[in-house]
Structure 1
Amino acid sequence: MSVDTKQQLVGSMQSYEEAVEWINSLIPFGIRPGLDRVEQMLESLGNPHRRLKFIHVAGTNGKGSVCAYLTHVLHKSGYDVGTFTSPYITKFTNRLQYNGEDIEEETLLLLANKVRPLVEEMATTELGSPTVFEVTTTIAILFYATVTYPDYVVWETGLGGRLDVTNVVTPVLSIITNIGHDHMDRLGDTIEAIAFEKAGIIKAGVPVIVGVTQPEAIEVIAKFAKEKKSSMYLYQQQFDQMPLYVDEFEQQFRFEGLFRNIEDVTITLSGAHQLQNAAVAMMAIEILRQYQALIVSDEDLLEGMKTTTWPGRLEMIGQQPRLLIDGAHNPEGAAALATALQTTYKYEKLHLVMGMIDNKSHHDTFKHILPLVDTLILTEPNYRMAKNANELEKLVQDLIKELNLSNPPRLIVERDWKQAIGLLLEETNESDLAVVTGTLYLIGDVRSYLLHNKDAEKGW
């Protein structure tokens, strides 16, 4: 550490751990929709976000995968890329990446020290303290605008879109991956209401790629786009994908676009839903070529798509026995997992561990999974909003009756998730498949535990 750096730290936070502890101390301020606090902080810092080119990605599911595809293709093509995503799977620094590498701990510490006085000053005003997500977003913008200077920032929304903190930026391209039933306590209890919130990222004159398929949601988004004079490119209209083959390790499709078709696109992310996510990302690249004079060769495009990985989403992390993890935390995610289990993976028996948080549509999530499972182990993530496993058991028992299942799963409750994983592995024979699913807070812990990642932190 340089002398200048040490001088900057005098009277400030002295370590990465201390900085993360301070950021996490803001969790009790919750999620407070609106942009007033983040706009004021960024203005105090000279509006650094105005120097960056953002690709803003919203949607219920698929945001992270689309961000991963875009990051890999752009970086493979020689561009410097910032990637801001949430929640993190292993460590806080996962959320702020530059060219696929986490922010350095020392850099995060310096930026947190720069932001903290603004946060503490704002806390004394009528605006109140900035939230954990507002502070993290501000640190991310400083990282990209004052430290790394990427050509593009792939910028994932946290919650919704219209009032989400990330909506403080004006991007060069907006993307809405899909619309589903998630965060309904905050975004609304209908597809139209949720679509309204997601469509809030559309900016005047900025093109938008839309992977949404429900007619009622498309109507809402199209109205937004028209009002903003934003060109809209809709999945299954201006672009589409045609599956060619699929197995457990990769799948191939033909991309059909407004400007051209691209044959034999291979991806290694599993699940039919990833074909749609991949098509959305490829259309985004095509539009950037048209609007931003982006230079991406077909060779780099195809290689970038093929080498894209995304932890915790239909990820096989064990072979003896086979163990699949997937953050299917809402009905649409569970439906995608169920489809993959029926079409992609072969097994004699299916044994599954599931843990949820308290604000999810549990009934509609479990109904996709229950008919497929031989053994269901209910557990609890190590998280402050964990759903009680005994309450889940009652819900599942009621749902088994409702679905009138002729061969219901054997039901086990083990509230300690590590013990639940032990039971899962004991149950699973060589010809079977073990699955861990539910909230990403559980997936992150299980992934770090089984891969022996000693660097793991609690995600949010």
Structure 2
Amino acid sequence: MFTTYEEALEWIHSRLRLGMKPGLQRMEWMMDKLGHPERRIKSVHIGGTNGKGSTVTFLRSILQEAGYSVGTFTSPYFEQFNERVSINGAPIKDKEIVQLANDIYPLAVELENTELGGPTEFEIITAMAFQYFGHVHPADIVMFEVGLGGRYDSTNIIYPVLSIITSIGLDHTAILGDTYEKIAFEKAGIIKPGISVITGVKQEEALTVIKEKALEKKAPLYLLGNEFSISGHRSMPKGEYFSVNTVFEEFPGLEIGMAGKHQTENASLAVMAAELLNIYYSFLIEDEHIRAGLKNAYWPGRFEIISDDPLVIIDGAHNEEGIIALTAELAARFHDKRINLVFAALSDKKLDKMIDNLDSVADKIAFTEFNFPRAARAEELYEISTNKNKHFHKDWKQLLENELKETEKDSILVVTGSLYFLSEAKPNLLKLLGK
């Protein structure tokens, strides 16, 4: 058993050695031993390739404005591990992590000696979240973000009041499949019988899979572009302005502080979700709660301007779809500036297409690496790039210091790639900037 936060964290992270083990049996086994805390939670389930974290943040902020206590389970964390389990945006305390780890530890040991085998790191963290919101600190509603895929993800033992599928992209193809249809099939695995599902998925082949699954489960389906839509979009210096129309109501002149057209889509999913919670589940959410919630929503590392002078942006574009959204935004907003990019990524991503898109907007691009089991080597990234002004540096701290010194009035520094990298890079950048 654990007496300190550090001991608990060390044990949790030690489970990484087990890798990923698809299936729900270990989760169901642990929940049974804990008295099924997951059944005590009113929840929203959010899956998809990109936009999960932003959608969670928009909906959480709306619900908080309406006066509700809102739990969230998200991954990965950005600044501290505790963020993964939060109440009203505040990470749970270190002592609560210790308590939860002690609740789950004996079950993990017992499970290790069964034919199911020991639980993975993600399964343990998910079990901790269920235990927290079910037995330790109940909330009015809890949003559970899918870790990977959906069908066999460890969060998929819940029976939510709403399901949301944000987008479909060709990410984690070795696990989820190499076509939009195959990936959509995994994502659609979170659709439950009779439970409304909201989606921003665009690809016709992926939508067909989701429509068929919703029909099979008799789940009402709300599609972006059909049952709700976006109009009047224009970018602001720091954010977006747009309107959302749903089958129930119109919301003209909405504003968000998160930049990017794709963020208006994530925000529209949250608006549709808030509408359904209001109409069918007795959550008293007014127009002003939606407006204020969207405007005040903040999610770190998503086209986040951390300095205006010099102009420095960090963005967790960690797959091809994320990179496409980032480069489109850079081209639209900063066509009059010299764009200097720093990029670090995990080796299991589609690096050639990601780097090709970055090359297309970068006046200068630098590659680096960081200490993580699946991190790509800086030289490997450099070799893929065709940019005429490219270089690499294995020491990311030194690279960031060098790049900051070279960022002048007519240029912008963009640090992007893996969220694991950005979680380390951001505090270092803020220190270098004297913030």
- Please, what TM-score do these two structures have when normalized by structure 2? 0.97
Asked if residue 130 in structure 1 is aligned to residue 119 in structure 2, the reply is yes
Asked if residue 426 in structure 1 is aligned to residue 405 in structure 2, the reply is yes
Following TM superposition, where does structure 1 have runs of at least 4 consecutive aligned residues deviating by more than 4 angstroms?
A: none
Alignment partner, residue 448 of structure 1: 427
The AA in structure 1 aligned to 2:295 is K
Question: Structure 2 CA distance, aligned partners of 1:78 and 1:191?
Answer: 39
Question: 1:44, CA displacement in angstroms?
Answer: 0.2
Question: Structure 2 CA distance, aligned partners of 1:256 and 1:142?
Answer: 38
Task: Report percent identity of matched pairs.
Answer: 41
Over the aligned positions, Cα root-mean-square deviation in angstroms equals: 1.2
Note if contact 1:272-1:339 (Cα within 8 Å) is conserved in structure 2: no
Alignment partner, residue 152 of structure 1: 141
Alignment partner, residue 275 of structure 2: 286
Question: Structure 1 CA distance, aligned partners of 2:124 and 2:289?
Answer: 35
Question: Structure 2 CA distance, aligned partners of 1:244 and 1:46?
Answer: 48
Note if contact 1:323-1:434 (Cα within 8 Å) is conserved in structure 2: yes
Note if contact 2:400-2:429 (Cα within 8 Å) is conserved in structure 1: no
372-381 vs 197-206, which moves further: 372-381
The AA in structure 2 aligned to 1:102 is P
List per-residue Cα deviations over 1:140-181 (Å, max 9, x = no partner): 111111122101101100000000001011100000000001
Question: 1:250, CA displacement in angstroms?
Answer: 2.2
Alignment partner, residue 240 of structure 2: 251
List per-residue Cα deviations over 1:256-313 (Å, max 9, x = no partner): 1111111110100001100111111101111112221221111111001100000011
Question: Structure 1 CA distance, aligned partners of 2:326 and 2:415?
Answer: 11
Out of 327, 346, 356, the residue aligned to residue 345 of structure 2 is 356
Paired residue secondary structure (1:281): helix
292-301 vs 324-333, which moves further: 292-301
Out of 235, 244, 265, the residue aligned to residue 276 of structure 1 is 265
Alignment partner, residue 310 of structure 1: 299
Question: 1:452, CA displacement in angstroms?
Answer: 4.4
Are residues 194 and 277 of structure 1, via their aligned partners in 2, closer, same or farther at CA, if it must alter by over 3 Å?
same
Asked if residue 175 in structure 1 is aligned to residue 164 in structure 2, the reply is yes
TM alignment of 1:79-228, pairs within 5 A: 79-228=68-217
The AA in structure 1 aligned to 2:74 is T
Unmatched 5+ stretches in structure 2: none
Unmatched 5+ stretches in structure 1: 1-11, 401-407, 454-460
Out of 417, 421, 426, the residue aligned to residue 396 of structure 2 is 417
Q: How many residues align?
A: 432
Note if contact 1:328-1:437 (Cα within 8 Å) is conserved in structure 2: yes
Question: 1:342, CA displacement in angstroms?
Answer: 1.4
Paired residue secondary structure (2:7): helix
The AA in structure 2 aligned to 1:15 is T
312-321 vs 331-340, which moves further: 312-321
List per-residue Cα deviations over 1:176-195 (Å, max 9, x = no partner): 00000111111000011000
Question: Structure 2 CA distance, aligned partners of 1:278 and 1:62?
Answer: 9
Question: 1:92, CA displacement in angstroms?
Answer: 0.6
Note if contact 1:351-1:374 (Cα within 8 Å) is conserved in structure 2: yes
The AA in structure 1 aligned to 2:413 is A
Question: Structure 2 CA distance, aligned partners of 1:437 and 1:35?
Answer: 34
Paired residue secondary structure (1:451): helix
- Please, what TM-score do these two structures have when normalized by structure 1? 0.92
Question: Structure 2 CA distance, aligned partners of 1:305 and 1:107?
Answer: 30
Question: 1:108, CA displacement in angstroms?
Answer: 1.2
Alignment partner, residue 46 of structure 2: 57
Question: Structure 1 CA distance, aligned partners of 2:308 and 2:165?
Answer: 35
